[in-house]
C-alpha cells in the first residue's frame, strides 16, 4: 500500500514538471520578436549599382531613314491655292510626267471641265471654246469666198486659237504639278489642305546613286548630336552601314515638329529611296552632383512622395527623392546619398523598408 502511494506521488511530480516545461516553451514561442520569427524567411533577390556608376546612361534611338542622292530637283508651286491631292510619299518612285499635286482655289465657285475648281482655268477653257468656234467659221468662209481677205481672217483666227490653247495649258500646268523627271521622292513638304503660293516648295525628287541618309529627330536627340558623329544605318536583310552626320537643322519641320538630319554614307552606292532605320547611341550625363539615373521600375511614388531603395547591411533601406525628372523609361533622380551607396535597380518582388535582401 505504501509502495503504491509512493508511485502515485512520483507520477504526479513528473506530470507537474512536464506541464511546467510545456507552458514555458509555449511562452518563449509567443515572446519571440517578429524579426526573429522571420529570420529564416527567404531574402528577396535584388540587383544593385553604385550611385557613382549611375551618373550617366547610354540609350539607343531607332528612327525611320530614307536614302537620298546628291542630285535632287526641287518642285515648287506656280500658282496660289490649296492642295487638293498629293499622290506621292517619301521613298516612292515617280515617273516623268506623273501628276504630283493638284492645286485648287478654295474660294473659287466655278468648277472647270478638268475637275479643278479655278476661275482662271474655266475662263481659259471658255476662251479656247470661243476661239475654236471663230476659227471654224473663218475657215468655212475662206473655203467659200476664196479671196485674200478671207484667208487672212482664217489665219488670224487659227493664231488666236493656238494662243488660247497655250494659255489653257499654262493654267492647267500651274494647277496640276507633274514630275519633270523620273526618280525617287526624297522630301514631301505639303499635304492635302496645305496652302501654297508661287514658289512654295512641294517636293524633292532624287536621282542617281545615293550617298546620303536623311531622317528626323526630336529636340532631345538633336541636342546630343554633333557634326561628324557616327550613325548606324540598318537596311533590308539586316545590312548595316555607317554614316557620319553632315547636317543638323536649326529649326524643326513645321509638319512633323522634328529636326531634319543628314548623314553621308561611307563609299556606298545604295538605290535612292531605299528605306531603313537610323540607330543613334545617346549618352546622357547627370548635370548635378546629387543626380543620377534610375529605371522607372526602381522608383516608387505614393501619397508620401517618391522614393527608391539602397542595400545596407543586407536589408533594403528606403531613400526619399528630392526631385524626379522622367525621360522615357528612365528617371533622373536627385537624392543626398554617397557615391558608393548600393542603389537597388531591380528586384524579384516588392520592396519594403527593412526587408531582408540578397544581392545577385
For the stretch 305-358, pLDDT in tens is 889 999 999 999 999 888 888 877 788 888 889 989 999 989 988 888 999 988
Boundary of a domain, candidates 283, 317, 338: 283
Q: Domain check: are 213 and 274 in the same one?
A: yes
| pLDDT (tens digit per residue) in 144-199 | 787 778 778 788 888 887 887 777 766 666 678 888 888 888 788 888 888 888 89
**Shared-domain flag, residues 245 and 297:** no
The answer to whether residue 83 sits within a structural domain is: no
Q: How confident is the model at residue 2 (pLDDT cuts 50, 70, 90)?
A: low
Beta carbons of 209 and 188 less than 8 angstroms apart: no
Same-domain status, 219 and 249: yes
CATH at residue 234? 2.40.30.170
Is residue 153 assigned to a domain?
yes
**Does 120 fall in a domain?**
yes
C-alpha cell at 125: 477653257
The pLDDT, as a whole number, for residue 209 is 64
Whether residue 194 lies inside any domain: the answer is no
pLDDT tens-digit readout, 197-236? 889 999 988 876 667 889 999 988 898 899 999 999 998 7
Q: What is the pLDDT of residue 277?
A: 92
103-111 long-range contacts, Cβ below 8 Å, gap at least 24? 103/77, 103/79, 103/174, 103/175, 103/176, 103/177, 103/196, 104/175, 105/80, 105/81, 106/81, 106/82
Residue 197 is assigned to a structural domain of this protein:
no
DSSP 142-187: HHHH-SHHHHHHHHHHHHHHHHHHHHHHHHHHHHEEE-SS-EEEEE
Q: Name the residue range of residue 231's domain.
A: 61-71+208-283
Q: Is residue 184 part of a domain?
A: no
Q: For the residues 284-293, what does the mean pLDDT come to?
A: 83
3-class secondary-structure state, position 211: coil
Q: Which residues does residue 343 pair with via DSSP β-bridges, in sequence order?
A: 49, 310
The answer on 353 and 306 residing in a single domain is yes
Ramachandran bin of 293, using left for φ above 0, alpha for ψ from -120 to 50, beta for the remaining angles: beta
Task: Provide the number of structural domains found in the chain.
Answer: 4
Q: Is residue 213 part of a domain?
A: yes
Coil, helix or strand for 30?
A: helix
Tell me the backbone φ, ψ of residue 324, rounded to 5 degrees: -140, 130
Q: Domain check: are 104 and 170 in the same one?
A: yes
What CATH number corresponds to the domain at position 293? 2.40.420.20
- Residue 86: its H or E element: strand 81-86
Same-domain check for residues 66 and 214:
yes
170 and 107 fall within a common domain: yes
Q: Of 283, 298, 323, which residue sits at a domain end?
A: 283
CB-based contacts of 315: which residues, under 8 Å, 6+ apart?
Answer: 354, 355, 356, 357
Q: What is the pLDDT of residues 21-78, one digit of tens each?
A: 566 656 555 554 444 444 446 788 999 999 888 888 888 889 999 888 777 889 998 8
Contact 135, 157 (CB under 8 A): yes
Give 296's DSSP letter.
G
For residue 128, give the H/E element and its range. Answer: helix 119-145
18 versus 55: which is more confidently predicted?
55
Quick check: is 346 in a domain? yes
Amino acid at each position: 500500500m505504501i509502495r503504491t502511494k509512493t508511485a502515485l506521488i512520483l507520477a504526479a511530480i513528473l506530470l507537474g514538471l512536464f506541464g511546467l516545461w510545456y507552458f514555458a516553451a509555449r511562452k518563449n514561442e509567443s515572446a519571440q520578436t517578429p524579426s526573429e520569427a522571420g529570420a529564416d524567411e527567404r531574402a528577396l533577390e535584388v540587383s544593385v549599382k553604385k550611385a557613382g556608376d549611375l551618373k550617366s546612361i547610354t540609350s539607343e534611338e531607332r528612327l525611320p531613314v530614307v536614302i537620298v542622292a546628291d542630285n535632287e530637283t526641287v518642285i515648287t508651286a506656280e500658282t496660289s491655292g490649296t492642295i487638293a491631292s498629293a499622290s506621292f510619299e517619301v521613298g516612292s518612285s515617280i515617273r516623268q510626267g506623273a501628276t504630283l499635286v493638284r492645286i485648287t482655289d478654295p474660294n473659287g465657285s466655278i468648277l472647270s471641265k478638268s475637275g479643278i475648281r479655278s476661275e482662271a482655268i474655266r475662263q481659259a477653257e471658255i476662251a479656247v471654246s470661243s476661239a475654236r468656234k471663230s476659227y471654224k467659221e473663218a475657215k468655212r468662209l475662206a473655203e467659200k469666198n476664196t479671196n485674200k481677205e478671207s484667208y487672212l481672217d482664217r489665219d488670224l483666227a487659227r493664231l488666236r486659237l493656238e494662243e488660247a490653247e497655250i494659255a489653257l495649258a499654262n493654267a492647267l500646268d500651274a494647277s496640276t504639278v507633274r514630275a519633270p523627271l523620273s526618280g525617287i521622292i526624297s522630301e514631301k513638304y505639303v499635304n492635302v489642305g496645305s496652302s501654297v503660293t508661287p514658289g512654295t516648295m512641294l517636293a524633292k525628287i532624287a536621282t542617281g546613286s545615293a550617298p546620303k541618309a536623311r531622317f528626323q529627330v526630336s529636340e532631345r536627340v538633336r541636342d546630343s548630336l554633333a557634326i561628324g558623329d557616327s550613325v548606324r544605318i540598318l537596311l533590308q536583310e539586316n545590312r548595316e552601314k555607317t554614316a557620319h552626320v553632315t547636317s543638323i537643322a536649326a529649326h524643326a519641320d513645321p509638319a512633323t515638329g522634328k529636326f531634319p538630319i543628314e548623314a553621308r554614307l561611307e563609299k556606298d552606292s545604295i538605290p535612292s529611296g531605299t528605306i531603313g532605320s537610323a540607330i543613334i547611341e545617346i549618352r546622357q550625363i547627370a548635370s548635378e552632383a546629387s543626380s543620377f539615373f534610375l529605371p522607372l521600375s526602381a522608383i516608387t511614388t505614393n501619397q508620401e512622395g517618391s522614393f527608391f531603395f539602397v542595400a545596407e547591411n543586407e536589408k533594403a533601406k528606403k531613400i526619399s527623392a528630392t526631385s524626379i525628372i522622367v525621360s522615357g523609361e528612365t528617371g533622373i533622380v536627385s537624392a543626398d546619398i554617397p557615391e558608393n551607396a548600393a542603389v537597388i535597380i531591380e528586384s524579384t518582388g516588392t520592396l519594403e523598408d527593412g526587408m531582408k535582401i540578397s544581392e545577385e
